[in-house]
Amino acid sequence: MRSIHLLAATALAAAPILTTAARADEGMWTFDNFPAAKMRKDYGWAPDQMWLDKVRAASVRLTGGCSASFVSPQGLILTNHHCVASCLYDNSTNASDLLNNGFAALARGDEKKCPGQQAEVVTSIGDVTGAVKTAIGTATGQALVKARDAKIAEIEKAGCTDTATTRCQVVTLYGGGQYKLYTYRKYSDVRLVWAPEDRAATFGGDPDNFNFPRYSLDASFLRAYENGKPVMTPQNLKWSDRAPKTGEVTFVVGNPGSTQRLYTSDQLAFQREVALPVAVTTLSELRGRIISKMQESPEKYREGLDELNGIENSLKVYIGRQKALNDPAFTKPLADAEADLRTRSMNNPAIGNPWADIVKADAAYRDLYLPARFVNPNSSLFSYALSLVRAAEERAKPNGERLPGYTDSALPLLEKQITDPTPVVRWLEETNLGFSLSKAREYLGADDADTKLLLGKESPEGLAKRLVEGTNLADPAVRKALWDGGQKAIDASNDPMIAYAKRLDDRMRAIKKAADQSYSGPLAVAGGKLADARFAAYGSDLYPDATFTLRISYGKVAGWKERGKDVPATTTLGGTFDRATGADPFDLPKGFAAAQGRIAKNTVYDFVTTNDIIGGNSGSPVIDKAGMVIGAAFDGNINSLGGNYGYQGDINRTVVVSTAAVSEALRTIYPNPALRKELGIK
């Protein structure tokens, strides 16, 4: 439901931008540049390299877009309930609704595979900046992008020759200032072990989302397997079921997805004026359509719930971002910090004027944005079709000439995600596809060439119905056959969705080519110069924007002031009963109601910290000074919704479900002796 969420903010305090050294608890730091001296100054203590290495080796990236951690030697993984909601749904039927009722494997053999999921652990981080920049040389525009991507593909292939167990990924940092090679040990067989009933994790629903106090058991367990057996994971975090203490130091280790704190004022203007209004408007309308469909039957309600939760979460994120960028009190510090950097860089001829280059690139992208957004219809079935069409063409090319996402290092995960048996709900497919096509016509115009390419003579709804009803791509065996058959199978296919993907692919490639020439290529050059400017002005103690790669943030357990009132740092399990109204979404979870007389109601349930996080950190372990896990991050407070652009230390908070509450749940609410034994819970 809530993928730690692109934290965005109200204007209750000034928001720094990352052109100066990070302040207070700000920062999503890479593990090869942890600011030990800064933390020691702030807190009187900082972890040593052994501590950092241990928590890094126990931290997990889930390819579904979340974070996690190993918490036992037998491959047991702690993450959020909303990070496994799709797995619960994929393993459900109308007769057995695991998402609604929860799940607990009685034995290892009962643990259920999560389609498309992969667990990854960072084993090394290497600097390949020199190699990539040398390959780029003096190239510009599309030539720069091609040279860069070819070198990245080469580095990734050379770094991971065993693609069955390893994955290599070159990551762009500081907008093009650095390139790092992340090497992962991967586990492609991930299974569901335990999850509470949905209402326990989503108590309070959309009204409570991004708010605190919270009463949410947003925690679940997975397990990594290899060769049909649980993976041995000697590097794991020890479980602590003690309550957190206000003021104590906390670390969040996970994979924040994306931030835009390095953006210039012109780039932020594009977000405020173009991208965010489109996102808010379209998601608002789509939410209404999905709700209307869900009300038609209990079956459709079950089938649409996970989709609706995701839409509502995203909508709240974008509304919060839009509010932040329209608030002068929020944006003025960003502009002031940018002005300071420009002043400091005026006499450095090596820097030039990257701001002017970005203005030009953004102006070009404004013309490309709507076609780039809408000539890519929203549909899982269409995504399967496009990936199959492109994979067939790209695999025939040399590795360095392929589109990103289709190189040798990327293909194993792509194949898994295409061929794993994931259920497809046809009414959802028709709704999403028809809606996105209607929005394309609305935003591009009925006479636009791209609209005519998308629709021909058909209506959006009629085309969506024809494609979804006619395709066989819902069958994983059909997708597998097309993948294995390559170009010959694609050429021979008469599947209407495959034909539609082929029809749009050339135009999508042309849009990318134009964007590479006038936008992506120039931004890579300008971003590199801005990175040089920051390092020259402020030194190396700067963290890069989030890239869904492993980061560590430090902070403390602390409440905050909201409209003049103190918000306490913790809630208790007993507060659930005080908050319950008996009506959705404040109806008591059945397990809580049944165990009400036995629950230790003073157990700390959820708590907040000053750690700096963003979407993708969902499921991240919250770790204490001793290196023990004391919670799992699952949300940010409402004041964090501007965190995509800046961190506000006095009001930004990470929301965490405590291990104390999970332990009590496994003892009393959803008794599970096997898991308690594995975790060492008494």
Token representation of residue 554 = 């430090």
- What's CA 544's distance to the chain center, in Å? 17
User: Where is 122: in which H helix or E strand?
Assistant: strand 119-127
SS3 category, 560: strand
Give the per-residue pLDDT at 15. 32
Tell whether 142 is covered by a domain.
no
Give the per-residue pLDDT at 9. 24
pLDDT above 70 for 295: yes
Is residue 483 within 8 A of residue 418, CB to CB? The reply is yes
Do 563 and 596 lie in a common domain? yes
User: Where is 151: in which H helix or E strand?
Assistant: helix 141-159
Mean local confidence (pLDDT), 307-324: 95
Do 276 and 243 lie in a common domain? no
Do 289 and 361 lie in a common domain? yes
* Cross-strand partners of 629: 239, 623
Strands 178-187 vs 189-195: parallel, antiparallel or unpaired: unpaired
Do 352 and 474 lie in a common domain? yes
Task: Choose one of 511, 538, 565: the last residue of a domain.
Answer: 538
Do 434 and 529 lie in a common domain? yes
Do 388 and 529 lie in a common domain? yes
**Please, which pLDDT band fits residue 346 given cuts at 50, 70 and 90?**
very high
Tell whether 176 is covered by a domain.
no
Is residue 607 within 8 A of residue 630, CB to CB? The reply is no
Do 437 and 288 lie in a common domain? yes
Cβ atoms within 10 Å of 331's Cβ, excluding its own: 22
What count of Cα atoms within 13 Å lies in the side-chain half-sphere of residue 394? 23
**Please, which pLDDT band fits residue 16 given cuts at 50, 70 and 90?**
very low
Question: How many structural domains comprise the chain?
Answer: 2
Mean local confidence (pLDDT), 198-212: 96
**Please, which pLDDT band fits residue 23 given cuts at 50, 70 and 90?**
low
Tell whether 162 is covered by a domain.
no
Q: Give dist(CA 477, CA 101) in Å, integer.
A: 30
Do 54 and 72 lie in a common domain? yes
Tell whether 274 is covered by a domain.
yes
Q: What's the domain range around 515?
A: 265-538
Environment class of 48 (CB within 10 Å of its CB; exposed 0-12, middle 13-18, buried 19+): exposed
pLDDT above 80 for 19: no
Tell whether 133 is covered by a domain.
no
Q: What percent of the chain is predicted at pLDDT more than 90? A: 96
Tell whether 6 is covered by a domain.
no
Q: Which amino acid is at 543?
A: Y
Contacts 24+ apart (CB under 8 A), 94-97: 94/299, 94/302, 97/302
Do 311 and 288 lie in a common domain? yes
Do 562 and 519 lie in a common domain? no
Q: Give dist(CA 102, CA 670) in Å, integer.
A: 10
**Please, which pLDDT band fits residue 18 given cuts at 50, 70 and 90?**
very low
Is residue 25 within 8 A of residue 340, CB to CB? The reply is no
Q: Is omega for the bond preceding 213 within 30 degrees of 0, making it cis?
A: yes
- Mean pLDDT across the chain, nearest whole number? 95
Q: What is the CATH number of the domain that holds 86?
A: 2.40.10.120
Q: What is the pTM of this model?
A: 0.94
